Amino acid sequence: MTRVSFDVNGETHQLELDTRTTLLDALREHLHLTGTKKGCDHGQCGACTVIVDGRRINSCLTLAVMHHGDEITTIEGLGTPDGLHPLQAAFVEHDGYQCGYCTPGQICSAVGVLAEVKAGIPSHVTADLNAPLRLTNAELRERMSGNICRCGAYSNIAEAISEVAGRSA
Amino acid sequence: MRFEHPATFNPIDQLKVIGHPTSRIEGPLKTTGTAPYAYERHDVVPNQAYGYVIGSAIGKGRIAAIDLEAAKGAPGVLAIVTAENAGKLGKGERNAAPLLGGPEIAHYHQAVAIVVAGTFEQARAAAQLVRIDYAKGDGRFDLAAGRDEAIAPHPSFGGPADTAVGDFAAAFAAAPVQLDATYATPDQSHAMMEPHASIAAWDGDKLTVWTSNQMIAWGAEDMAKTLGIPRDNVRLVSPYIGGGFGGKLFLRADVLLAALGARAARRPVKVALQRPLMFNNTTHRPATIQRIRIGAERDGRITAIGHESWSGNVSGGEPETAVSQTRLLYAGANRMTATRLAALDLPEGNAMRAPGEASGMMALEIAIDELADKLGIDPVALRIANDTQVDPEHPQRKFSQRQLVQCLNEGAARFGWSKRNPKPSQVRDGRWLIGMGVAAAFRNNLVTKSAARVRLDRQGRVTVETDMTDIGTGSYTIIAQTAAEMMGVPLEEVSVRLGDSDFPVSCGSGGQWGGNNSTAGVYAACVKLREAIAQKLGFNSAEAVFADGVVRSGNRSVSLAQAAAGGDLVAEDAIEYGDLAKTYQQSTFGAHFVEVGVDADTAEIRVRRMLAVCAAGRILNPKAARSQVIGAMTMGVGAALMEDLVVDKRHGLFINHDLAAYEVPVHADIPHQDMIFLDETDPISSPMKAKGVAELGICGVAAAVANAVHNATGVRVRDYPITLDKLIAAMPV
């Protein structure tokens, strides 16, 4: 067991954890923040995506004790049912989900994508590293491809993200 | 309420709420992570322990010995349950292989033990210490090898093993144009995002499970039967389900082992099947080999059509009924189908989205494309030429509605089909060879009993309770829309409570029967509630008008809140069906159009455009229904291009058993999708005049992709999935 302390959604948490506990299980099982989902526990599906110090990560692939002092944002930190984040509202409006299980990960990932594009971070499909980065259809789909939606809401998710990014899908 | 005659005008036809593209009412919960799924119910019972499931490491044989000593002594371990100490277990009506194996092993990753510990980390670590010696037996794992010994199975869900009309053999032999081709579809996995997960808690001899299940009543019944306890002692709760696609129709190992673990540990226990277990532990869509023979006149008229299908399953399992659509989709005087089942020792095959038709249409709709090539007739025109408005086996039976031709024509016009070059590999866009493909979509509409309870309270709010489930289909929303329309209240004044075995038994979610039947059950309950309200107010129920939160009759008008001022008014009823499904053939139709690009050098396939046009009765909520169809189109792209549970024929398992190796479509694989519904109401189907739509969307998609790949390259692949290795050697230079 080890003590670890980090901020989640602006609140500091002190936990005493089995060192084998993933960040995902720390959130879900210890802090009862179950909005972050466990789909595969192997970094293959993206359902557990959270934002740590401004970057999106798969919380199942990292141990909680590695995040001492970090600032973590989960889906619960983005908005509430009565006060939706613009991306959450756009997902509702465009029906960018069905069963809802991958949805928090998709939304956290989308927050990360918009930040990456703003910061000019290139992806596999970025053709010109010197040109200003734009969120093209190819960029959006490439960057979101770590988040599987088996219900197949991709076309609607792309439209939801595009609306928030101020462009058409 | 018995539904015996075609529906006439009823309150649903007002379309004040029904038929509107309302956003899902549970959307704010799902998008904020506050919708509670099974494994997350910290709120329902304290002191939950963690279970970790161990799956068999062999495909067939026996457990020779299990050594639990080291695991029992590991930190935090509370109990270990195996077949040896679980007590006598029965088997659910709907399970083929036992959910807890041992000493006999029926298939790879069949659960053989659950380790329960205070934390997940402790349970997982202790599970690694369980030592199991296996005596490996000989298993049959190869469908092609088992094909010759396959038997004609007893009539099952999909119809008899053999059907025949006219003289197929003679008509086929005499046909001037013949097609005789064999196709293969692989085993596929549901791979829903939420693993099978459950929390189980005992209170004396009463068991409550919070689980993820599409069919609440089936699950409760089979749990009771497996445990050998009274049905009334089991409560099953499943308000949110993170995807099912048929994989959560049945009682599975997670929920049974949670119950057994909780009994042994004397504590509530939570279990999620580990993702790498899911592909072999649970059910899958079985592989098929399909031979299709079609004989036609030179003008394209089909004179003989024959479809044979082989699939395999474990003992007690059913065949994949891949021939079923061929009995109904196209005209032709001489017809035959045959379904054969091979004995295999792979994991249990069972329903996955559109069982039967999804696999059958993958083959049939390539065959029609091949026939069109042979005839030199456009594949849209060939399908239209062979349309039938009656059941071809029983011409006195009409289709209740059949707009296949309209779907094809509308789709062709919208997609720009006239620009397709019928000669393959003629169109290029830079390094990409471009092709267009078409396929029909077809899936039957099934009607089945469904009940609901509706309550009006003194605030004028309406609450619906039914054990119906919402697996992403939009059940919450369309049920709320139905109650709002019937009771004349705004959508916001309706609460919907689903997925609890304490509620009236619904149709559940499967076979695309959920939307139409569950709302028809709510309709029936609302009719009864309207009568109760009218009676309470001394109104003539036939004349009472429910609108704007008020009941009116003549010049009297009373608010719903006032009507219930003396206490809640409650009504419960079910929709039950007469013979209309026998008198008429009820089916849903569509047309899929796909454009692909195939890299001229590498044979990489990219889907560039997709359009579906569907006719499926009244569309209760166009937004949610469209999502069902585009989601099914996405899964169809997976079936066409990547999904393949690869059988290790030496050891008897699906070797690619996780989400890295079993590939499903991701964002980058799917372009913007277009989807439209044709105007249709089907009064034969139910008072809702709606039909199923969620499975129609997958039927034919893969063939449309395959046909587009052929149009792009001239290469005909009959063995799914269509991967570049199957194209590269034959690509045009």
**Beta sheet of B550-553, edge-to-edge order:** B545-547, B550-553, B556-559
Judged by a CB distance cut-off of 8 A, whether residue B75 touches chain A is no
pLDDT score recorded for residue B733: 79
pLDDT score recorded for residue B298: 98
Residues in chain B within 8 Å Cβ distance of A75: 31-33
pLDDT score recorded for residue B158: 75
B676-689 pLDDT, tens digit each: 999 999 999 999 99
Confidence band, pLDDT 50/70/90 cuts, at residue B58: very high
Instruction: At B280, list the tokens.
Output: 């072999």
Residue B61 near residue B135, CB atoms below 8 Å: yes
Tell me phi and psi for residue B119, to 5 degrees: -130, 165
Contacts of A166 (CB under 8 A, 6+ apart): none
Contacts of A168 (CB under 8 A, 6+ apart): A162
Residue to test with chain A: of B20, B26, B32, B274, most A Cβ within 10 A = B32
Judged by a CB distance cut-off of 8 A, whether residue A39 touches chain B is yes
Tell me which chain B residue has its CA closest to the CA of residue A22.
B121
Instruction: At B448, list the tokens.
Output: 């089945």
Residue A97 near residue A149, CB atoms below 8 Å: yes
Q: Do B28 and A150 touch (CB under 8 A)?
A: no
d(CA B615, CA B610): 17
User: How many angstroms away from the CA of B44 is the closest CA of chain A?
Assistant: 13
d(CA B701, CA B722): 13
Residues in chain A within 8 Å Cβ distance of B42: 32, 34
Q: What is the mean pLDDT of residues B265-270?
A: 98
d(CA B618, CA B511): 18
Instruction: At B180, list the tokens.
Output: 């005789």
pTM over 0.90: yes
Residue B483 near residue B14, CB atoms below 8 Å: no
Q: Do B275 and A150 touch (CB under 8 A)?
A: no
User: How many angstroms away from the CA of B4 is the closest CA of chain A?
Assistant: 34
Tell me which chain A residue has its CA closest to the CA of residue B275.
A40
Task: Count residue pairs from A and B with Cβ separation < 8 A.
Answer: 198
Asked whether residue A91 carries a pLDDT value surpassing 90, the answer given is yes
Q: Do B472 and A97 touch (CB under 8 A)?
A: yes
B96-154 pLDDT, tens digit each: 999 999 999 999 999 999 999 999 999 999 999 999 999 999 999 999 999 999 999 98
B268-302 pLDDT, tens digit each: 999 999 999 999 999 999 999 999 999 999 999 99
Instruction: Name which of B694, B678, B696 is nearest B627 in CA terms.
Output: B694
pLDDT score recorded for residue B157: 72
List beta partners, residue B647: B654
Tell me which chain A residue has its CA closest to the CA of residue B34.
A35
Q: What is the mean pLDDT of residues B631-642?
A: 98
Q: Which residues in chain A (107-126) have CB-CB distances under 8 A to chain B?
A: 107
B295-340 pLDDT, tens digit each: 999 999 999 999 999 999 999 999 999 999 999 999 999 999 999 9
Residues in chain B within 8 Å Cβ distance of A149: 193
CA separation (Å) from B91 to B253, B272, B384? 12, 21, 48
List beta partners, residue B636: none
Between 3.40.50.1100, 1.10.3720.10, 3.10.20.30, 3.40.390.10, what CATH number should domain A2-77 receive?
A: 3.10.20.30
The upper half-sphere exposure of residue B338, i.e. CA atoms within 13 Å in the direction of its Cβ, equals 14
Residue showing tokens 């206490």: B567
Instruction: At B440, list the tokens.
Output: 């029909």
Asked whether residue B571 carries a pLDDT value surpassing 80, the answer given is yes
DSSP-derived letter for residue B166 is: S
Q: What is the mean pLDDT of residues A58-68?
A: 98
Q: Do A39 and B42 touch (CB under 8 A)?
A: no
Domain A86-165 bears CATH identifier 1.10.150.120? yes
Neighbours of B492 (CB within 10 A): 10
Judged by a CB distance cut-off of 8 A, whether residue A45 touches chain B is yes
Residues in chain B within 8 Å Cβ distance of A72: none
Instruction: Name which of B230, B138, B144, B140 is nearest B183 in CA terms.
Output: B144
Asked whether residue B182 carries a pLDDT value surpassing 80, the answer given is yes
Where do the structural domains in chain A lie, given as residue ranges? 2-77, 86-165
Torsion of CA B146, B148, B149, B150, to 10 degrees: 80
Instruction: Name which of B594, B727, B558, B733 is nearest B670 in CA terms.
Output: B594
User: Vertex B549, ends B548 and B554: CA angle to 5°?
Assistant: 80
Let me know if A112 is exposed, middle or buried by CB neighbors in 10 A (0-12, 13-18, 19+). buried
Judged by a CB distance cut-off of 8 A, whether residue A141 touches chain B is yes
Confidence band, pLDDT 50/70/90 cuts, at residue B159: confident
pLDDT score recorded for residue A168: 61
Strands (E), B250-301: 269-272, 288-296
Neighbours of B419 (CB within 10 A): 9
The shortest CB-CB distance from B40 to any of A21, A34, A154 is to A34
Residue B609 near residue B415, CB atoms below 8 Å: yes
DSSP string, A110-139: HHHHHHHHHTT---TT---TTSPP---HHH
Q: Do B24 and A92 touch (CB under 8 A)?
A: yes
Q: What is the mean pLDDT of residues B219-240?
A: 98
Residue B138 near residue B62, CB atoms below 8 Å: no
B695 is catalytic: yes
Q: What is the mean pLDDT of chain A?
A: 97
Residue B133 near residue B139, CB atoms below 8 Å: no
The upper half-sphere exposure of residue B578, i.e. CA atoms within 13 Å in the direction of its Cβ, equals 11
Instruction: At B173, list the tokens.
Output: 């032999």
Q: Do B192 and A99 touch (CB under 8 A)?
A: yes
Q: What is the mean pLDDT of chain B?
A: 97
A23-55 pLDDT, tens digit each: 999 999 999 999 999 999 999 999 999 999 999
Q: What is the mean pLDDT of residues B452-469?
A: 98
User: How many angstroms away from the CA of A131 is the closest CA of chain B?
Assistant: 22
Judged by a CB distance cut-off of 8 A, whether residue A144 touches chain B is yes
User: How many angstroms away from the CA of A113 is the closest CA of chain B?
Assistant: 13
B76-110 pLDDT, tens digit each: 999 999 999 999 999 999 999 999 999 999 999 99
Strands (E), B8-145: 49-55, 61-67, 77-82, 104-105, 111-117, 131-136
pLDDT score recorded for residue A169: 61
pLDDT score recorded for residue A92: 98
Residue to test with chain B: of A101, A163, A168, most B Cβ within 10 A = A101
Instruction: Name which of B71, B92, B243, B178 is nearest B694 in CA terms.
Output: B243
Instruction: At A77, list the tokens.
Output: 């930190």
Judged by a CB distance cut-off of 8 A, whether residue A81 touches chain B is yes
Asked whether residue B189 carries a pLDDT value surpassing 70, the answer given is yes
Amino acid occupying residue B674: D
Residues in chain B within 8 Å Cβ distance of A137: 672
Amino acid occupying residue B492: E
pLDDT score recorded for residue B155: 66
Residue showing tokens 């230079």: B733
Asked whether residue B568 carries a pLDDT value surpassing 80, the answer given is yes
B386-419 pLDDT, tens digit each: 999 999 999 999 999 999 999 999 999 999 999 9
Instruction: At B289, list the tokens.
Output: 């080999």
List beta partners, residue A80: A83
Asked whether residue B665 carries a pLDDT value surpassing 70, the answer given is yes
Judged by a CB distance cut-off of 8 A, whether residue B128 touches chain A is no
The shortest CB-CB distance from A81 to any of B34, B122, B192 is to B34
Instruction: At B611, list the tokens.
Output: 């359009």
Q: Do B626 and A95 touch (CB under 8 A)?
A: yes
Judged by a CB distance cut-off of 8 A, whether residue A156 touches chain B is yes
Q: Do A40 and B659 touch (CB under 8 A)?
A: yes
Residues in chain B within 8 Å Cβ distance of A47: 193
ipTM at complex level: 0.98
Q: Do A42 and B626 touch (CB under 8 A)?
A: no
Q: Do A100 and B623 touch (CB under 8 A)?
A: no
Q: Which contacts (CB < 8 Å, 24+ apart) does range A112-121 have?
A: A112/A49, A112/A51, A112/A55, A112/A56, A113/A56, A113/A140, A113/A143, A113/A144, A113/A161, A114/A161, A114/A164, A114/A165, A115/A54, A115/A55, A116/A143, A117/A143, A117/A165
Helix (H) or strand (E) holding B308: strand B302-313
Let me know if B439 is exposed, middle or buried by CB neighbors in 10 A (0-12, 13-18, 19+). buried
Residues in chain A within 8 Å Cβ distance of B278: none
User: Vertex B243, ends B91 and B193: CA angle to 5°?
Assistant: 105
Q: Do A151 and B243 touch (CB under 8 A)?
A: yes
